[in-house]
A and B are shown apart, each in its own frame.
Chain A
Amino acid sequence: MIDRIAQLPGLGRPQLPPLPMIRRQQIPEELGRATLLGVALLYLLVLVALPLVIVFVQAFAGGVRSYLAALLDPYALAAMRLTLLTAAIVVPMNLTFGIAAAWAIAKFEFRGKNMLITLIDVPFAVSPVISGLIYVLMFGAQGWLGPWLNEHNIRIIFAVPGIVLATTFVTFPFVARELIPLMQTQGNEEEETALSLGAGGWQTFWLVTLPKIRWGLLYGVLLCNARAMGEFGAVSVVSGHIRGQTNTLPLHIEIMHSDYNYVGAFATASILAMLALVTLVAKALLERRQPELRARAARQAV
C-alpha cells in the first residue's frame, strides 16, 4: 500500500519548495494556465465533442422512425452480429495471451525477453492496413498458404476467420501492455509466499495473482474490446465486403455513406459511438474504484 501512495502524482512534488523565480511570475503563470486550459478545452470541443454531437444529430435527421429503420436493416443487423461475434472471440483470446505474456515477462527472467516486449508492440507500430495485407499475403489465393488452403477448402480471408485474425493482431497489445508494468511493480513476493506455503501454480494464479491485477486486466479488456469493435483498416483489407456476411459495423458505415444513405451511416455510427461511450463510462467507474488505476491514468496523461 505504501509504495502505491508514493506513486500517486502530486504527493511527492508539491512538498518541494517552489523556486522564487516562479513565484515572482505568479500572475502571468495563472494567465498562462487559463489560456492553456482554454485552448485544450476548445480543442477537445471542436475535435471530439462537436463531431460526436453531429453524429447523433445526423443520425436523427430523418426522425426516430428512419433511425430505427436504418438500425433494423438486415445488413446493419448482420454487421452488428459480426462485430459482436468478432469481439467475443478476440477479447478472450487476447485476454489469455495478454495474461500469459505479462506473466512471463514480469515474473521470469529469460533470454529474448526484450524481443518479446518489442514483438508485443508491433501491432501498435504498423499501420492496420499493413496488418490486413500480411494476412492476404499469407492466406490469400496467391499467398504462401493459399494453394494448400484452397485444396482443403478452408477459407480464411474474405471470411469470418480472416476478420477475427486481423482484429486479434491489431488488438493484442492492449491487455499485455496494461498488465506488464502493473505486474512488474507488484513483484513476486506474494506469489513466492503462496508457493512456499504449499499452493499449486493454478491456485497461486487464481487466489493471489488474479485478484492483484484484476482492475488493470479489466481496463485492458475494455480498451481491447473498444478497438476490436471499431477496427476499420485491417478488417477492410481482409473482409471482401460481402454484404450481410463479412461486413462489420465500421465497414457497414462506409458502405452506407458512399451509398448516399447518410441517415443509415450516421445511425450505425451512433451505435459505435454509444459502444465507445459505454466503454468510457465503464473505464471512469473502474478508475473511481481503484486509486492505483487513476494514478496510472494520470501519469499517462502527463
Chain B
Amino acid sequence: MTLADYMTVSALLFLIGVFGALTRRNIIGILMSIELMFNAANLNLAAFDRFLHPEGLIGQALAVFVITVAAAEIVVGLALLLAIYRNTDTTYVEDFHLLKG
C-alpha cells in the first residue's frame, strides 16, 4: 500500500467529519463529527510516520498527544453540554442563540 491510499482514506474521513459538523443539528452529533476529524488527522500522522520518517516515531508521539487532547476536549465538551442542557433543556444548536446580537 502507498501513502496515497492512507491519505485518501484520511481525507475522506475528514470530509465526512466536516460534513457532519456542518450539518448535524444535535450538538452531540457535532462532537462526534469532530472526533472523526481528529481521527483523520491522527491517521495521517501515523501514515506519515510509517512512510516518511519511520526511524523517529515523532508522528506516533504527536498522535498520542492529539488523542490525549481530544479526550480532554470531549470530556469538557460533554460537561459543557450537560450544563447547557440543564439551562436550556435542549441539545439542538439552533436553539443556542443567547449571544445573538
Mutual binders A and B: no
